[in-house]
Amino acid sequence: MSDGGSRLDTVLETESLVKRFGSRNAVDGLSLRVRGGEIYGFLGMNGAGKTTTIRMLLGLCKPNSGCVRIFGEPQTGTRRRALSRVGFLSDSPGFYENLTALENLRLYADLSGVIGRTAIEDALRAAGIDAAADARVAGFSLGMKRRLGVARALLNHPELLILDEPINGLDPAGIRDLRIILARLARENGVAVFMSSHILGEVEQVADRVGVIHGGRLIDEIPIAELRQRIRSCVEFSVSDENRAAVILERDLGITDFEIPSAGIVRVYMRTVDAAAINRAFVVNGIDVSRVEREGAGLEEYFLRLTGGDHA
């Protein structure tokens, strides 16, 4: 496990990664870095190149050019030992359906060199699937298979987790549990997490940094705080007395996230602004309101604007 001192070291790196299928570049010159203890959200629409990138990271398909480094080791040909320190969850959680959850994990544990039943039981418990340990996977729902996939990913106490669309098929409780697990692993154990998703809201809640892939190219890479700043929507009020308006917002409505960019303008930042209630409060307190306008982009708007609003 990474110690605090090595948390900021690069654990996963791609350099000018290219994967062609026929004449189409599924991944086109992708360069990114994931640091220890960081949760990196890899965002993109369906077909943007997320899964192809992850397949190259895991050695399942070979890049046409460029390279992948995990813990500083180039992943080429048969030299993929660094993967033994990686936990992964593929987009389809494949298991031997004739075996039970426990038997499946035992098989993977045996091949991974994980010793002891305790490690398997811990992983099952962490993923919230321990109650179904002795049930055959054939009877599992997609959500249960996903949970078992998470258990498998945690089995070898990884230093890097690579997750492809991890919340697909999970119920709300499963999504919440996964969020907690990832946050705990990253914050407490310094585990780096690289997770792909096309659901922006989910990535935003858990990631530290976000990379947006579109048409195989990384078109944006920003810290989540900056993303939040960019997608912060606001309601702008043109008022007769901005100072009194500020007092009413703070004292009467308990709103502190606002600014006065210029005289007569009050900009209120909130996820869901009740513009009507604010307007009413201003008018009741004798402040004239000449204009109310919503400004700024939501998460979806931001993403669509970035990707041109079309599919890859």
Partner 1 sequence: MLKLVRAEFAKMRRSSMFLVGFAGAAVTPLVSFAGIMLYRSGPNAEEFTVNYLLNETNLFNNLLIGPALYGLLGSWMVIREFSEGTLRNILPIPVSRARFLAAKFLALLVWILVLSLWSWILAATLAALGGLDGWSLSAVAKYIAPFLFGGALLFLLSSPFLFAALALRNLVPVIAIIVSLTLVSVVIGNSAYQPIYPWTAIIPIVSGKPSAGFPPYAPYLSLFATSFAGFVLSFIRFCRMDIP
The alpha carbon of 88 is separated from its chain's Cα centroid by a whole number of angstroms, namely: 14
Instruction: For residue 39, give both structure tokens.
Output: 């949760």
Site string for partner 1, 133-172 (x = CB under 8 A): ---x------------x--x--------------------
Stretch that binds partner 1, among 90-98, 220-228, 267-275, 284-292 (CB under 8 A): 90-98
Instruction: For residue 159, give both structure tokens.
Output: 């230093």
Task: Judge contact between 29 and 16, C-beta under 8 A.
Answer: yes
Least distance to partner 1, CB of residue 80, Å: 4
Least distance to partner 1, CB of residue 15, Å: 20
Cα–Cα distance measured from residue 30 to residue 40, given in angstroms and rounded to the nearest whole number: 15
Least distance to partner 1, CB of residue 302, Å: 32
Cα–Cα distance measured from residue 75 to residue 96, given in angstroms and rounded to the nearest whole number: 28
Q: Is 107 in the site for partner 1 (CB under 8 A)?
A: yes
Tokens 């258990």 belong to residue: 151
Q: Quick one: 93 or 307, whose CB is closer to partner 1?
A: 93
Name the phi and psi angles at 88, rounded to 5. Answer: -145, 155
Q: Is 80 in the site for partner 1 (CB under 8 A)?
A: yes
Least distance to partner 1, CB of residue 94, Å: 3
Cα–Cα distance measured from residue 210 to residue 223, given in angstroms and rounded to the nearest whole number: 6
| HSE of 33, CA atoms in CB hemisphere, 13 A | 7
List binders of partner 1 among 25-64 (CB under 8 A): 55, 58-62
Give me the residues that bind partner 1 (CB under 8 A), please.
55, 58-62, 78, 80-81, 83-84, 86, 88, 90, 92-99, 103, 106-108, 110-112, 136, 149, 152
